[in-house]
Structures are given as structure tokens and as C-alpha cells.
Structure 1
Amino acid sequence: MYIFNRLTVVPKLPEKIKGIQEIADNLWWCWNTESLKLFKKIDKELWERVEKNPIKFLKQISQTKLEEVSKDEDFLKEYNKVYSDFKGYMENNNTYYMNNYEKYKNKCIAYFSAEYGLDETMPLYSGGLGILSGDHLKSASDLGIPLVGIGLMYKEGYFNQKIDGRGNQLTLFAKSDLDNMPIKKVKDEKGRDLALYIDIENTKVMLKVWEINVGRVKLYLLDSDTEENSSKYRELSYRLYGGGREMRLMQEMILGIGGVKLLKALNIVPNLYHMNEGHSAFLIIELIEQIMREKQVSFEVAKELVKTMTAVTVHTPVPAGNEIFDIDLIERMFDGKWDALGISKDTFLSLGMTPNDNYKKAFNMGVFALKIAGKKNGVSKLHRRCF
């Protein structure tokens, strides 16, 4: 048997500019134009070739180039300015939030979204929902709002479109280059990869977790693509909005249920759980179950408590933004959950139904989120008439 190991040789950053790695490891650079100019100035041709990816750039830049710029007084002046701005940004407590809401400095918001549009080098989004989510994290960082993001790690992201010679659209998926993304695995107290487990179809599915620094804000991404899982569950972390209804439902179970379990494992106690669209609404189930267990209260009492700590933002009334699942599928995935909650199956299923849902045939994630969340808003006034 032959055993192969991969060895990556990277250039060593000169002492005078070693802080540039810190900048590359934090997505702050993607909305700070001066930092982008800094990378470009080192090697314009390489910068364009790596598609403006700082991590990849620093791995491929020649040692000679690094030595040259570390002795260039004009470059050092620019570097020192950018690095000073970055350190000042990260360490500054003189933020809008602290200046106006200091009494809430120990509060925390958990922000859940199925996609995040942060930068082209991070293919974790498909459109407007993701761009809004990404901007929320960046704005929270700039304002100093104590927020943590929860999402899913997609190894292939969303598809790229290509038109062939006959005018047909081709759907292309490219595997994400994790080694060249500003991410790292979350570890437990013993230095091992943090492992979470959620029940799907009465099967224990293991989740690993990735961490991304978005300025001052942490974004955690759940990942089921681990050797401990069967291929069926590993594939849940492959594509954004990929697969059939079963895959979409399981992805949303990971996002909502797994996200709440993750916060518990990290000892993060949010005062508000914000659902960006209904994809993450299963977080409600996990919160209710945790409260019932810890406070020894009934389902109804726990549900009312969850109302006080949840909010949902509605983006669109069309089906793509309001997942609807067949009741048979919900029953199979959550088999026995109603017993654990001390309620009937019909009561459980009714959480995602309206009188117009053809009676026990459809479970609407948007309806579920809107029924339970204590705070509700939309991205336009039009949504007020739609729901």
C-alpha cells in the first residue's frame, strides 16, 4: 500500500509586512478598497490571475517579490496605514452600537440564513437573499452590533451558467477550494474538530463546523461532509438549493436544528434568533425542546418563550422563498419528535399549515416561522399585504 501526503510550500512573509496575513484571513478586506490595492501593488499580474483572492495570492507570490516590497518605502507606508486601520477597526470600541446601546453590550443576536454573499471568492450564495445576508454581517461589524452568523458550508456552492454554441444553458458546478478560503475548522476544548449530531430519519448525522471572520463578526458554517456520515448525508453539504425536496428539507434541518445546537456547544446564548427567510425555521423546534428540558415546562409554555426570542424577515411570497414540503416527508424526517415534545402529531404538523393548505397535505416553512416568531418584518411594504 502506498501512502501519499500533500505538502504545500508557501513563501515566508518578511517581518516588516507579516501583518498582511492577518488582513487576508479576515474578510474585512473585501469591503476595504485600500487593502485590495495593497495586494494588487505587490504583483498586479498574479492578483488578477488568482481572481483577487488574498489567501491564494499569498500562497503563490514569489519570495523575491515579497522581499522587494518589504524594502520599498512607498509600499511600506501604504502597508503600515492599511494594517493600522485594520488593527484599529478590530480593537475599536467606539462604535455606533457602544455609543448608543452600551447597556446592551452583553446581548447577542444569532442570525440564520441559507446563503451568504460575502465575496466572489466565497461561493456561498445565489442571489439577493445571500447578498442581503452578507451585507447584514458587514454592517453589523461596522456598527459594532454583537451578532453571530449561522449558515451551511457548500462544497460546490451554487451553479454557474454557460451558454453553448446552440444557445443552450449549461449548468456547471465547481468544487470550492477550501484551502484558499479564509476559513478554519472550529475546535473543541481538547483541540479536536468540534462535532455535533442531529437526528434525521432517526439517524445520527455528524456535523463539523467552519469559522469565518467577517470583520468583527463570526460566521459559522455547518458541514455534513464527514467520513462518519453515509454519502446520502455527506451530499447535503455539496450544493446550495441542490437536489430534490428531501435534500432541501434535510439541509434546512441542519441549518435550524444544527445551528441552535452549535450555539449551545459554543456557550453562546443569543437574546434574539433572527431567521432570514423561513429556511431556518426548524430552529424553533430545537429551542422549544431545549427550553422544555432545561426549565421543565410544557410545550405551550416553551413555545411562548420562544416567541419572545425570535424574529423572521420575509423576502418574497413566491414558492422559492417559502419552502413547502409534503406532509409525508415531514412525518418521515421528524418521526417521533412530537412524542418528545409531548404533543400530538397533528399539533406538530399544524405548526406549518394554514386553512388553505388542503388540510394536512403541506408544511409551509414561511407559515411556520411567521406563526411562532415574535417579531416579523419584510424587505418592502408590499410584503405586508402578501402575508
Structure 2
Amino acid sequence: MEIPQTRFPNLPERLKGLGEIATNLWWSWHPGARMLFKLLDRQAWKESGHNPVKTLLGLPKETYETLVKDREYLHLYDQVLELLVKDLEPKDDFFGEGSTHQQAHCIAYFSAEYGLHQSLPFYAGGLGFLAGDYIKKSSDQGIPMVAVGFMYPEGDLRQQICEDGWQENPNETLDREAASIARVLDESGNPIIVKIPFVEPPIRVAVWKVMVGRIPLYLMDTDIPVNDPWNRGISAHLYIGNREQRLRQEIVLGIGGFEVLSTLGIRHTVLHLNEGHPAFALLERIREKVQAGMSYEKAARQVRATSVFTTHTPGKRRVRSCNNTLG
């Protein structure tokens, strides 16, 4: 198991596994793992917004040196680390073949938001929580899957009540270096930058990775110097109000997400869309097959047969519309 020691230089050898636990969202649905970070320093844990990476980075060496002598803490630590290692070990997957996300029957899950934990503000409500729970459960069941979404450094609207009783909406930007995420690098150690095809002026995205148990979630980030100011804001926060910018956001999610998987060499045979925001991914799948020599009619049939759509708020009118569209 790879331990990110350089990210947490204050961790002693005996507790270096805390870094591995903190950088996999597995901790978010395992109470024992969360308790490990709470016991480090209850006040620091609270002030971090229950963010284990931020907690680890903010504590002095003396805190860890004290815990190395705490038998009860070490017992809990060993139990949690053993469970993490066991859960992440290669095992028979949902189909009984011990596959990984790179094998042929992988599911590519696209969603505009992911409700994984409050320390990662990539969600607005139920749609995001559905996506978050879906990939967490997929990890537990060994379903071969890779997920794609956006890095939203500004998240969604936050609300809090002031002492005078009025509501305010504070602006907070995610500190990428103090969160359970990591930048995706190429073989030379340089950040991977992916160009979105068919868009002028060009839009490029950096790629971040969140490990959700066994499931990799790749997040696209347009806030990079190579993009012009207008395009840098595409992934700033959820559901941009400007209609043109919103369309760009959905193009990047669908077509760009498809391009990211291709760049990373991740193949999939099933595409699962969580709501219609990533719908451009369907068109990109068809285009790829046609470009490879398949007729449009056959490509459309194959994509229809290997695509899954989840609607968050079904209604009679909406269902009729979908049925008419799909024939």
C-alpha cells in the first residue's frame, strides 16, 4: 500500500497509515476511521470541517509523538488500517471475475455533482448524494467502475445565520492541497492537461483524482493559466446561471469527460449518466464509433444498448419525452 509520507511529514513511522486513510474517501463511511482523526485533536477536527487531510497537516509533531504511546489509540489505528487494506485488496468483483476498472466491462459513471462529504463541496443536494452513495456502494460490492465529474473549488451556495438573525452567503474556495484529492500526473511527474475537442477558443482541463474506496473519481478543473478568464470559470461552481457558460459546462462534462478517460487509457463498455447534464458524452461515444468505421445507425444502436440513464425527479411529462426521444 502506497503511503503518501511526503504530504504528511510530521507523521511518525508508526502512524504513517493515517495518510493513506485520509486520502481515500473510504474514511467517510467508516465510523472507526473518522474517530481516528477526531481523537487526534477534537477541536482541530471540528475547525477543519471534519477534513482529515487538513487536520493532519495542521497538527504538530508533539501530538503524534504522544499518540504513539497511547495503546488504546494504536489498537483502533491498527484495526482501521487492517480493514482499509482488506477492503482495497483485489477481489472477485460484482461479476465474479476479479476485474479492475480498466477491463472491458467497466462502467463509466458521469455526474455533474458528487455528495461524498462536506469537506469536498462538489454537490448541491439529492442528485449529488445519489451519485456519492452510488459509487460508495459500488466500491463495497466490487463493481468495476470509474466516475467522472467536475472540480468545483467554490462549490455551491453556502448559507449561515449571523448573530443578528440575518442570512449570509460566505464565499469559500476549496484548498486543493488540504483535501482528500490528488492531481493526476503523467509519467514525467507533470500535471495532465486535456484539451476538449471541437471547442473554439480551446478549453483545457487539469485532472484531479479522488479515491472513493476502490472507485477512482476523476474531476476536471478549468481553472488553469492556459485557459482564458471566461473559460477558467467554467468549473468554478455548480450550475452556472449564464446560459452560454452553462452549455460550455455541460460540453466539458460530457465530451471532456470522455476525452479524459481516453487520455488516461481507461476503456469502458457501459456509460451511466446521472441526469442529463453529461448528455454530450452519448454523442461523443457515437462519434468515436463512426470515426472507427461503423455506420451511424449501428453506432447509435450500440450506444443506446450500452447506456444507462438515471433521472432524479421523474414525472409523467418527462417520461413521455424520454420515451419519444429513444423511440
Provide, for residues 322-351 of structure 1, a one-character-per-residue CA deviation record: whole Å limited to 9, x for no partner: 8xxxxxxxxxxxxxxxxxxxxxxxxxxxxx
Task: Tell whether the 8 Å contact from 1:115 to 1:125 is kept in structure 2 after alignment.
Answer: yes
The 5-angstrom pairing of residues 193-272 of structure 1 reads 193-199=191-197, 202-272=200-270
AA matched with 2:258 = V
Task: Tell whether the 8 Å contact from 1:257 to 1:286 is kept in structure 2 after alignment.
Answer: yes
Alpha-carbon shift at residue 129 of structure 1 (Å): 0.2
Number of the residue aligned with 1:39: 37
Whether 1:102 and 2:100 are equivalent positions in the alignment is no
Cα 1:288–1:370 change in 2 (3 A) is: farther
Whether 1:304 and 2:301 are equivalent positions in the alignment is yes
Whether 1:54 and 2:8 are equivalent positions in the alignment is no
Q: Partners in 2 of 1:262 and 1:35 — Cα distance?
A: 31
Q: Partners in 1 of 2:164 and 2:38 — Cα distance?
A: 38
AA matched with 2:131 = S
Cα 1:87–1:104 change in 2 (3 A) is: closer
Q: Partners in 1 of 2:57 and 2:164 — Cα distance?
A: 40
Whether 1:371 and 2:317 are equivalent positions in the alignment is no
Q: Which moved more, 1:253-262 or 1:236-245?
A: 236-245
Number of the residue aligned with 1:333: none
In terms of Rg, which structure is larger?
A: 1
AA matched with 2:149 = G
Task: Tell whether the 8 Å contact from 1:11 to 1:58 is kept in structure 2 after alignment.
Answer: no
Alpha-carbon shift at residue 29 of structure 1 (Å): 0.5
AA matched with 1:90 = L
Q: Which moved more, 1:55-64 or 1:45-54?
A: 45-54
Alpha-carbon shift at residue 58 of structure 1 (Å): 0.6
Whether 1:189 and 2:183 are equivalent positions in the alignment is no
Number of the residue aligned with 1:338: none
Alpha-carbon shift at residue 163 of structure 1 (Å): 4.9
Q: Partners in 1 of 2:154 and 2:15 — Cα distance?
A: 34
Task: Tell whether the 8 Å contact from 2:25 to 2:212 is kept in structure 1 after alignment.
Answer: yes
| TM-score in terms of structure 2 length | 0.89
Cα 1:11–1:260 change in 2 (3 A) is: closer
The SS at the match of 1:278 is coil
Q: Partners in 2 of 1:62 and 1:146 — Cα distance?
A: 39
Q: Partners in 1 of 2:8 and 2:186 — Cα distance?
A: 28
AA matched with 2:313 = T
The SS at the match of 1:176 is coil
AA matched with 1:209 = V
Q: Partners in 2 of 1:104 and 1:55 — Cα distance?
A: 31
Cα 1:77–1:9 change in 2 (3 A) is: closer
Q: Partners in 2 of 1:256 and 1:312 — Cα distance?
A: 13
AA matched with 1:136 = Y
Paired residues in the alignment total 315
AA matched with 1:143 = Q
Alpha-carbon shift at residue 125 of structure 1 (Å): 0.2
Task: Tell whether the 8 Å contact from 2:197 to 2:255 is kept in structure 1 after alignment.
Answer: no
Q: Partners in 1 of 2:91 and 2:255 — Cα distance?
A: 33
Cα 1:271–1:9 change in 2 (3 A) is: closer
Cα 1:91–1:103 change in 2 (3 A) is: closer
Provide, for residues 31-86 of structure 1, a one-character-per-residue CA deviation record: whole Å limited to 9, x for no partner: 00001111122222222222211101111112111001112222111111111111
Task: Tell whether the 8 Å contact from 2:91 to 2:98 is kept in structure 1 after alignment.
Answer: no
Q: Partners in 2 of 1:50 and 1:162 — Cα distance?
A: 17
Whether 1:123 and 2:121 are equivalent positions in the alignment is yes
Number of the residue aligned with 2:88: 90
AA matched with 1:297 = M
Alpha-carbon shift at residue 10 of structure 1 (Å): 5.9
The SS at the match of 2:153 is coil
Task: Tell whether the 8 Å contact from 1:55 to 1:182 is kept in structure 2 after alignment.
Answer: yes
Cα 1:146–1:196 change in 2 (3 A) is: same
Highest relative contact order (Cα 8 Å, sep 6+), 1 or 2? 2
- Mind listing any 5+ residue stretches in structure 2 that lack a counterpart? 1-5
Q: Partners in 1 of 2:7 and 2:282 — Cα distance?
A: 46
Alpha-carbon shift at residue 212 of structure 1 (Å): 0.4
Alpha-carbon shift at residue 124 of structure 1 (Å): 0.3
Q: Partners in 1 of 2:314 and 2:173 — Cα distance?
A: 32
Task: Tell whether the 8 Å contact from 1:224 to 1:237 is kept in structure 2 after alignment.
Answer: yes
Alpha-carbon shift at residue 191 of structure 1 (Å): 2.7
Whether 1:25 and 2:23 are equivalent positions in the alignment is yes
Percent identity at matched positions?
39
Q: Partners in 1 of 2:256 and 2:128 — Cα distance?
A: 20
Q: Partners in 2 of 1:111 and 1:9 — Cα distance?
A: 29
Aligned partner of 2:273 among 238, 261, 275: 275
Cα 1:86–1:52 change in 2 (3 A) is: same
AA matched with 2:303 = V
The SS at the match of 1:160 is coil
The SS at the match of 2:277 is helix
CA root-mean-square deviation:
2.4
